[in-house]
């Protein structure tokens, strides 16, 4: 997959979705959209499907603890398993192997060599 900017999605983990939505909607003068509850409590930032932009969501986490590593950036992939096979040999750790997310494809979550939580997203 050839892309100029492989970043395709981000999650900002939060303790209280409604409070965080109000904060981001007010600060950036935008409206966030709730995702289906079966995916957990999440709300997405606005985006254009064919635009040159990346989007993401606020994600409410049970037992959330505020720290400086609560944002997850997702990198686009043709198939998450391709990058998964390289992660542990280069000092990373897979936290969630390839997992379906409905019509939107698949994700994988891993720690990079510096302890940052990073995601992969693929359509297949």
Walking along the chain (124 residues) 10 residues at a time, the average pLDDT comes out as: 73 92 88 93 87 85 84 92 92 94 93 87 93
Does 28 share its domain with 51? yes
* C-alpha to C-alpha distance for 79 and 94, rounded to whole angstroms: 15
Q: Please give the angle made by the CA atoms of 44, 82 and 75, to the nearest 5 degrees.
A: 25
In a domain, 108, yes or no: yes
* C-alpha to C-alpha distance for 58 and 20, rounded to whole angstroms: 7
Site of tokens 């409206």:
31
Does 10 share its domain with 60? yes
Q: How many folded domains does the chain comprise?
A: 2
Cβ 8 vs Cβ 1: under 8 Å: no
Q: Residue 18's domain is classified under what CATH number?
A: 3.30.720.120
pLDDT of residue 3: 56
pLDDT of residue 69: 78
Range of the domain at 90: 77-124
Does 11 share its domain with 58? yes
Give SS3 for 9.
strand
């Amino acid at each position: 997959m050839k892309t100029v900017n492989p970043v395709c999605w981000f999650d900002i983990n939060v303790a209280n979705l409604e409070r965080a939505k109000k904060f981001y909607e007010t600060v950036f003068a935008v409206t966030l959209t709730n995702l289906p509850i079966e995916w957990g409590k999440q709300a997405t930032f606005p985006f254009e499907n064919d635009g040159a932009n990346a989007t993401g969501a606020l994600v409410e986490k049970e037992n959330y603890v505020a720290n400086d590593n609560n944002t997850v950036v997702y990198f686009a992939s043709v198939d998450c398993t391709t990058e998964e096979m390289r992660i542990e040999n280069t000092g990373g750790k897979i936290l969630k192997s390839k997992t379906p997310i409905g019509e939107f494809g698949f994700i994988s979550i891993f720690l990079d060599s510096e302890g940052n939580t990073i995601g992969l997203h693929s359509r297949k």
